Amino acid sequence: MIKKTHIAFLAFLLFSFGNHLFAQDNPDAIALVDDQLENNFYEAMKQRGIENYDKAIVAIQKCIEKEPTNAAFQYELGKNYLSLKNYVDAESAFKKAVELDNKQRWYWNGLYDVYYQTKDFQKSIPIVEKLIEFDANMKEDLVSLYMNTNQHAKALELLNNMESSSKLTRTMEFYKLRLQETNKLAKPQKEQLEDAIKKNPKVEQNYIDLIVFYTNLNQEEKAFEVAKQLEREIPSSDWAHVSLVKFHLNNNDGENASKSMFKVLENDRMDLKIKHRVFNEFLIFAVKNSTYLKEIDKAIPYFDNDKEINVAKEVAKFFWKKNDLEKTAYYFEKALKKNSDDIDAMELYLEVLIQKQDFLLVTKKSEEYLESFPTQSGFYFYAGLGYNQLKEYKKAKNNLENGLDFVVENPSLEANFYKQLIISCENLNDNAKKQVYTNKLKQLQK
C-alpha cells in the first residue's frame, strides 16, 4: 500500500480551503458563512486527530452541506468512514472525490484502501492502474493483484517489463519463481529460454532464468547442466556457482564448494530462496566435515538483512536435533546478537543451558532477560529452576513467586512453577507454603 504523507496532504487541504475562501467576490457579505465553514472544517480535523470519527463525520458533513462540490471534503469524509470500517459509505465518499477531481492521487488511493481492506482485488486493479500514473512503484501492487486474481500471464508480462528496466525486489522475484513453477507457463518459457541461449550464448540473463527455473522444480541435474554451459560461455558469471556448489559437495570438495557458496551469497541479484538452499546444502556437508564449520560462521552474516529468517537460530535448531548442545548454544548466542528481542530464542537458549546443566549461566541469563522483559513468566521459571539447582532456594522462591503472577492460561508452565516452588519451600523448611503449592499442583493436575 502507498504510505500517505498525512501532514503534506493536510497542508494541501488547508491551502485549497483557504484559496476557496479568498476567491469570494464579497468577503464581508459571507464572513459569517465562511467562519462557520472554517470552524466546522477545523473541528473535523480535531476530532479525527483524537479518533472521534463519528464527531468528525458530523463536522465534515456540515462542510459538505455548504460546499457539496468540494472534493477535499468528500475525501475527509471517506477517511473517517474508513477508520470506522464503514466500507460502503467510505467507497461512496472517495468515488465522489474522484469524480470531482480525478487529478489528486490521494483520492484514488482512498478507494484503493477500501478495496484493499475488503480484499476486493478485482475492483482494486483499475484503481492501481490509475495510481501507476502517479507512482511507478505501484506496479508491484498490480503484480500482487494479478497473482491474487490468477491472472498469471499478465503478472509475468508486467514482471518482465519491470525487470527490463530495474532489479526486481525480493517479493517480485518470489512471484516470478512461483510463476515459473506454473505448468501452464513453464513449458513455453523453458523453450523460449533454450532458444534464446542458442541464438545469444553470451547473454547471461537467459542462463540465470533457466537455472532458477530448474532449481525451483528441484531438477538439480538440469540446472547443473545449464550452469556448466554458462560457465563455459561466460566463465566470470557468479550464477554458474548455484549448481557448482552441489557438484563440488558431491565430489567431497569442500574447498571449492565453499568458494562457490560465497560467490552465490555475495551476489545481490540472487534471491534469498536460492541463497538459503545453497547454504543449507553446505551446512549438511559441514556437519559431517567439521573443519568447514568455520565457513558456516562466515556465511551467517550474509543473511543479516533477512527479516523473515534468523539463520543463526535455524542453525542452532539444526544442531539441537543432532544433540550437539555445545554448537546449539553457540548458534543461539549468535542468533540473539542479531535479534536481542527474540523471546522465543531466549527461552530455547535457556532450555539448552539446562540440558547442559550450566545452571549458573541459566540464572545469569534469566536475570538479564528479565531486566528487559519483566512480565515474561518463562524467564522467572528458568531463574527459579537454576537457583534451585544451585541450592540458592531463597532466590529461587522469590523468582518463582514473582513470576507466577504472569502465568496466563498455561497449565503446563503453572504446574512446573508449583513443582519448583515445592522444592524451594521444602529446603527452606517453609512447610505451610509447601503445602499450599502441593495442593494447587494437585488441583491443577485434576
- 19 inside domain: yes
State how far the Cα of 66 lies from the Cα of 139, in Å rounded to an integer.
39
The CA angle 282-286-290, to the nearest 5 degrees, is 165
State how far the Cα of 310 lies from the Cα of 345, in Å rounded to an integer.
10
232 Ramachandran zone, left/alpha/beta (phi>0; psi -120 to 50): alpha
What confidence score (pLDDT) does residue 26 get? 34
- 39 inside domain: yes
Q: CB within 8 A of 112, min separation 6: which ones?
A: 1, 2, 124, 127, 128, 131
Q: Which three cell numbers, joined as nine digits, stand for 364?
A: 545469569
State how far the Cα of 239 lies from the Cα of 259, in Å rounded to an integer.
13
Q: Is the dihedral angle over the CA atoms 181, 202, 158, 189 positive or is it negative? A: negative
State how far the Cα of 121 lies from the Cα of 114, in Å rounded to an integer.
10
Which CATH number fits the domain that encloses residue 55? 1.25.40.10
Instruction: Spell out the per-residue pLDDT of the chain, length 446, in tens.
Output: 333 334 344 444 444 444 443 333 333 333 444 577 778 788 888 877 888 888 888 888 888 888 888 888 888 888 988 888 888 888 988 999 888 888 888 889 888 888 888 888 888 888 888 888 888 888 888 888 888 887 877 888 888 878 777 778 888 888 887 776 665 555 557 888 889 899 889 888 888 888 877 766 767 678 778 888 888 888 778 887 877 888 889 889 999 999 999 998 998 877 787 888 889 999 999 989 989 999 999 999 988 888 778 999 999 998 998 889 999 999 999 999 988 889 999 999 999 999 999 999 999 999 999 999 999 999 999 999 999 999 999 999 999 999 998 998 888 899 999 999 999 999 999 999 999 999 999 998 87
The model's pTM is 0.53
In this structure, are residues 444 and 415 in contact, taking their beta carbons and an 8 Å threshold? yes
Q: Is 279 exposed, middle or buried (0-12, 13-18, 19+ CB in 10 A)?
A: buried
What confidence score (pLDDT) does residue 279 get? 92
- 47 inside domain: yes
What confidence score (pLDDT) does residue 29 get? 34
Half-sphere exposure of 371 (CA within 13 A, CB side): 6
Q: Which three cell numbers, joined as nine digits, stand for 58?
A: 458530523
- 68 inside domain: yes
Give SS3 for 163. Answer: helix
Q: CB within 8 A of 26, min separation 6: which ones?
A: none
- 428 inside domain: no
The full length of the chain comes to 446
State how far the Cα of 403 lies from the Cα of 386, in Å rounded to an integer.
14
- H helix intervals, 182-253: 183-199, 204-216, 220-233, 241-250
- 57 inside domain: yes
Boundaries of domain holding 83: 1-118
What confidence score (pLDDT) does residue 21 get? 38
State how far the Cα of 45 lies from the Cα of 22, in Å rounded to an integer.
21
Count up the domains in the chain and report the number: 1
What confidence score (pLDDT) does residue 19 get? 40
What confidence score (pLDDT) does residue 353 get? 96
Q: Calculate the alpha carbon distances from 338 to 25, 307, 325, 369 in Å.
A: 65, 11, 20, 15
- 70 inside domain: yes
What confidence score (pLDDT) does residue 5 get? 39
- 97 inside domain: yes
